[in-house]
Amino acid sequence: MMNIQQFLKVKGLGRREQGAGGKEQGARSKEQGARSRGLVAGGWVYCLLSTVYCLLLLAGRSRAEAAPVANVPASAVTATPTPSVTLSSRTPLPAAQAVAPVRIAIPVLDFAAPVGPMAWQVTEVGGERRAVWQVPADKAGWHINSAGAGAQGNLVISGHHLQGEAVFARITNGEVTVGQQILVTDEKGRTFVYQVTEVSSPIPQLGATAADQARAAAYIAPSAQAKLTLMTGWPAFSNTHYLFVVAQFVGRTQ
């Protein structure tokens, strides 16, 4: 059995242990309280920052909506620059006043080539005698039986796309398109403007049907309209088809 002194010692030790446990529990409570207060404070800061961000976002949107927008026409963005040509006359020349062309140019393609008169030679093909045009190797050829430059009628100019200087290769390659302007200068120095209205589909030369031959002949036939017809071969690596470009007379430059 314990005596009174031993009992008091044990009881005192228990009180000290309970006191230490109470202090430890109090410390844990204080730590948890501090954490809770920190979380609450952090939540308030987050809410405050979110509110400020939303207000700044709304203010920026309001300024953007209120800012004046320049009225830019669509043509200013999508239009392709084209050379401007000042015309002195929009009336074709009478046939008697027209002379031979000496130069052809397509400004938008930065293309120009000399033009010379072109005659034909009668040859025998497949047992038949035919007139074959002698296209120059170093320049485009003007069909001497077609209209003169700037005149009423059909001005016909041919050019190689494979041989010699291949002056019309860019037609075969598809670079000449509807809407482009073609300038033709005559031997008197006058320049006439034509605008492309048609680029034909290829027409067979080899194995051509009667319909193919008639279609090709129609492009170079005389016309009551003032127009320009360019003639070359197709495709780029061969010469099995004809290709035509038709351009209507626009006027004469100053």
User: Which of 148, 245, 149 lies closest to 192 in space, CA to CA?
Assistant: 149
Residue 61 in this model has a pLDDT that exceeds 80: no
C-alpha pair distances (Å), 47 with each of 35, 53, 61, 129: 18, 10, 21, 98
Instruction: Give the mean pLDDT of 215-220.
Output: 97
pLDDT in tens, 179-200: 999 999 999 999 999 999 999 9
Amino acid 238: pLDDT: 94
Our count of domains for the chain comes to 2
Instruction: Give the mean pLDDT of 211-230.
Output: 97
Whether residue 207 contacts residue 233, with contact meaning beta carbons closer than 8 Å, is answered with no
Amino acid 55: pLDDT: 44
Residue 65 in this model has a pLDDT that exceeds 90: no
pLDDT in tens, 162-183: 999 999 999 999 999 999 999 9
Query: What mean pLDDT, rounded, does the chain reach?
Result: 78
Instruction: Give the mean pLDDT of 9-32.
Output: 49
- Please, which residues have CB within 8 angstroms of residue 50's CB and are 6 or more apart in sequence? none
C-alpha span between 136 and 120 (Å, rounded): 11
Instruction: Give the mean pLDDT of 153-164.
Output: 97
Amino acid 24: pLDDT: 52
Instruction: Give the mean pLDDT of 144-148.
Output: 96
Q: How far is CA 139 from its chain centroid?
A: 30
User: Which of 148, 174, 149 lies closest to 161 in space, CA to CA?
Assistant: 174
Last residue of a domain, one of 20, 51, 73: 73
Domain match, 156 and 41 both = no
Last residue of a domain, one of 32, 48, 73: 73
User: Which of 149, 167, 151, 189 lies closest to 233 in space, CA to CA?
Assistant: 167
Find the domain containing 32 and state its range.
1-73
Q: In the chain, which ranges are E strands? A: 87-89, 101-106, 111-118, 120-125, 128-133, 140-143, 154-158, 181-186, 191-199, 203-204, 227-234, 241-253
pLDDT in tens, 78-129: 333 455 678 999 999 999 999 999 999 999 999 999 999 998 888 876 777 8
Give ∠ CA 237-239-245 in degrees, rounded to 5.
100
Residue 4 in this model has a pLDDT that exceeds 60: no
Residue 8 in this model has a pLDDT that exceeds 70: no
Top pLDDT among 218 and 49 is at 218
Domain membership of residue 98 (yes or no) is: yes
What spatial distance separates the first Cα and last Cα of the chain, rounded to whole Å? 139
C-alpha span between 236 and 174 (Å, rounded): 10
Domain match, 185 and 245 both = yes
C-alpha span between 252 and 184 (Å, rounded): 10
Percent pLDDT > 90 in the chain is 59
C-alpha span between 191 and 172 (Å, rounded): 25
Domain match, 128 and 151 both = yes
Domain match, 166 and 94 both = yes
Length of the chain measured in residues: 254
Domain membership of residue 115 (yes or no) is: yes
The secondary structure of residue 97, as a DSSP letter, is: G
Domain membership of residue 204 (yes or no) is: yes
Amino acid 146: pLDDT: 97
Which single residue is written with the structure tokens 């953007």?
Answer: 64
Amino acid 31: pLDDT: 55
Which single residue is written with the structure tokens 């230490």?
Answer: 20
Whether residue 202 contacts residue 174, with contact meaning beta carbons closer than 8 Å, is answered with no
